[in-house]
Amino acid sequence: MKSYVFFFVIFSYAIINSQASSLRLFRERRADDPNETQKEFWKRGILMDIYPRSFYDSDGDGIGDIKGITEKSDYFVDLGVEMIWLNPVLKSPMKDFGYDISDFRAIDPIFGTMEDYENMLKEMHSKNIKVIFDFVPNHTSDQHEWFIKSVQNDPKYKDYYVWKDPKGYNSTGAPIPPNNWVSIFRFSAWEWSEERKQFYLHKFLIEQPDLNYRNPEVVKEMNDVIRFWLDKGVDGFRVDAIQNLVEDVSFADEPAAANSGITDPTLEGYYNHIYTLNQPETIVVVRGWHEILESYKDRFMTLEIYDEDVKVIMKFYGNETNPVSDFPFNFFFINKLSGRSDVTGTRLKSIVDLWLDNMPKGKWPNWVLGNHDRNRVSSRFGTDLIDALNMLVLLLPGTGVSYYGEEIGMVDAVISFEDTQDPAGINLGPDHYTETSRDPERTPMQWDDTENAGFSTASKTWIPVNENYRTLNVKAQNEASQSHIKVYKDLAKLRLKKTFQFGTIEFAVATDEVLAFVRSYEGSPTYLVVINTSAEDTTVDVQNGDVKLPDSATVVIRSSTGYQRGN
C-alpha cells in the first residue's frame, strides 16, 4: 500500500500574516473570558455517537447496555472524548430499536434501570464527560398510553396524533388514504384504525404514529419530558428527525421530485416533500425547547436535519436574538460525498466553505463523518483515508462529531437477510435489503480478539460481530507502534490547544489531490494540516498557495502510515 502524507506541522513562529477575507476565516474568542477557555462544553470537546445495543454488554445477554457504557468510562477519558451521545435507551417495543418510545420517562429493561442511568451519569460527570440523550419528539410507539387512548377517542388524547378521514372508499369498500404521503420506510404514511374509523399518520413505521404539534397539549407534554431529563441531570439533547415535526394543514398530495431517478411511487425518494418537511411551525416549537434549556445551567441541544439546501438548515440555528438550537448537525460530508472518488481537496474545501459562509453571525460550526444511520466512513471512502478524515473533522474550527468505532477504522459488516434486524432493510425483502439496511454500520464495538470481539460473553449477539475483529480491534491498535486510535488520541489532545479552540482557518492549497489549511491564533503556535486525498504519493508545494509559510517545520501528528513525527 502506498504511504499517505496526512500530517500536521508546527511553524517555528506563531503568526501568519494574511489578508484573507472574513468568509475564509473563522474565529471564536470571548472578550469576557480572560483565561481563554471555552465556557460552553459543547464547543470544547469531541461528541461521540454511541449505539448502546452495540457498545458493551455487561450482563451477557448479547445486547449492549447502560452498565456497559458506564464500565467503559475510562475508555472515553483515554480517547479524549468529552461528550457521549446515547441513541435511545427509553422504554420501547423496539420495532425501530428504541426510536418507537412507549414511555418517555422510563429506561427500557433491555438497557437497565433508572438507577443504572443515574449511576452512569454520576460516573461520567466525575470524569468530566457530558451525557447527551436522544430526544425523539416526532412520534411515539403505538403502545404508548397516549396513542391507545387516542384510538379510543378519549377526550383528552383524541387530538394528540394526526388523524384524518378517508378520501373515500374503493370498489371493495376499503378506505382510501387521505393523500399520497409515503413513509420513510416505504409505502403509505397512513394506517387505518378500525376502532376509530380514521387514518393516523406515521412518517416512519406503522408502529410509530406521528404526534400532532398543532395541539398545544402535545407541545406542553414534550416540554415536560425535556424538563424531566434536565432535572435528572442530562447535559443536553440530540433531537431526532426534526424536519418531520409539523405537517401542512392542507394535507395536499405531494408532487413527484424532479430528476430523482426513482420510478416507484411507494418509495419516499419519489416525492418532493413540500407538505411534510420543514414547515415554519417547526421552528417555533424547537425555539421553545431551546428556551427551556437556557433556563438551566450549561445545557446543549443539536438537531438532526438532512437537507440539500444549506439555507433551510441554517434556519435551525436561529440568530443571536432568537436562537433555535446550539447547532443543527452538519451532514454535508455525508450527503455531498457519495464515495471515494468524491473525496478531493477541492471538494472538501467547498463543503467547509459552504457551511462557514452561510452560518449565521455568532454561531458555532460542527463536522460529522458518520453515524448510526449511514455506512461507516472506512467503507464509504476507503480504510486509508480514516486518519485524514478524522484529522479534518477534529481540527477544523467547531465541534467534531464521531461515531463509535471511527477511532479504530471499523468497517461495515456483511449481514445476511436472515440476521437483518433493521426494518428499513426488512421492508425491501431479501433481494434488496442491503440497499437500505443500517445493520452493517451498527455491529458491536471491537474491543479485542477474544470471542465476540470482547463485546459480550453471550453465545449469540443481537447482531453478528464483524468477522475482521481478530485483527481490527482496540487492544491491537493500542499495542501497535502506529495505529488509527493513536492518531485519534493525539488529535483529541491537540484540538484542546488555543490555536484550535479559538484560532482562524486559512486554506493554503486545495487541488484534486491535496487539501492544506492553516490554523493560527495570536500568541500560540501555528499549525499546517496537509491531507493527500489521492490513492498515490503526492508532492505538493504548500508555499505556492495563498498563505505565506516558512521554509521548514516539524511534524507533530501524522497518519498511521507516512512520515515520522519530529521530522
Give per-residue pLDDT as tens, 99-129. 999 999 999 999 999 999 999 999 999 999 9
* 529 inside domain: no
- Is the Cα torsion angle 487, 492, 496, 501 positive or negative in sign? positive
Pairing of strands 366-368, 83-86: unpaired
Helix (H, G, I), strand (E, B) or coil at 515: strand
pLDDT category of residue 551 using cuts at 50, 70 and 90: confident
* 177 inside domain: no
* 433 inside domain: yes
Region 357-372: what's the mean pLDDT?
A: 96
* 481 inside domain: no
Please report, for residues 96, 159, 183, 201, 465, the alpha-carbon distance to residue 208 in angstroms, rounded to integers and kept in the order given.
9, 16, 10, 9, 29
Region 546-553: what's the mean pLDDT?
A: 82
Q: Which secondary-structure segment (H or E) carries 106?
A: strand 103-107
**DSSP 8-state assignment for residue 139:** B
pLDDT category of residue 566 using cuts at 50, 70 and 90: low
pLDDT of residue 552: 83
Identify the residue with better confidence: 153 or 536: 153
* Annotated catalytic residue within 240, 387, 406, 439: 240
* 305 inside domain: yes
In one letter, which amino acid is 45? G
Sheet holding 190-193, edge to edge: 163-164, 198-201, 190-193
* 180 inside domain: no
Q: Determine the Cα–Cα distance for residues 350 and 357; give it in Å rounded to an integer.
A: 10
**Is the confidence at residue 156, as pLDDT, over 80?**
yes
Contact 49, 11 (CB under 8 A): no
Contact 466, 443 (CB under 8 A): yes
pLDDT of residue 553: 85
What's the mean pLDDT when you consider all of the chain? 92
* 288 inside domain: yes
DSSP class per residue in 339-368: SGGG--HHHHHHHHHHHHHHSPTT---EEE
Is 240 designated active site?
yes
In tens, the pLDDT along 166-186 reads 999 999 999 999 999 999 989
Contact 520, 504 (CB under 8 A): yes
Q: Determine the Cα–Cα distance for residues 271 and 203; give it in Å rounded to an integer.
A: 13
CATH number at residue 315: 3.20.20.80
C-alpha cell of residue 553: 517545520
Q: Helix/strand/coil (H, E, C) string of 269-314?
A: HHECCCCCCCCHHHHHHHHHHHHHHHCCCCCEEEECCCCCCHHHHH
* Annotated catalytic residue within 304, 387, 406, 441: 304
Rounded to two decimals, the pTM is: 0.92
Helix (H, G, I), strand (E, B) or coil at 315: coil
Host domain of residue 294 = 45-137+218-243+277-466
pLDDT of residue 564: 56
pLDDT of residue 34: 42
Count of structural domains within the chain:
1
In tens, the pLDDT along 258-283 reads 988 999 999 999 999 999 999 999 99
* 382 inside domain: yes
Q: Helix/strand/coil (H, E, C) string of 413-465?
A: CCCCCCCCCCHHHHCCCCCCHHHCCCHHHCCCCCCCCCHHHHCCCCCCCCCCC
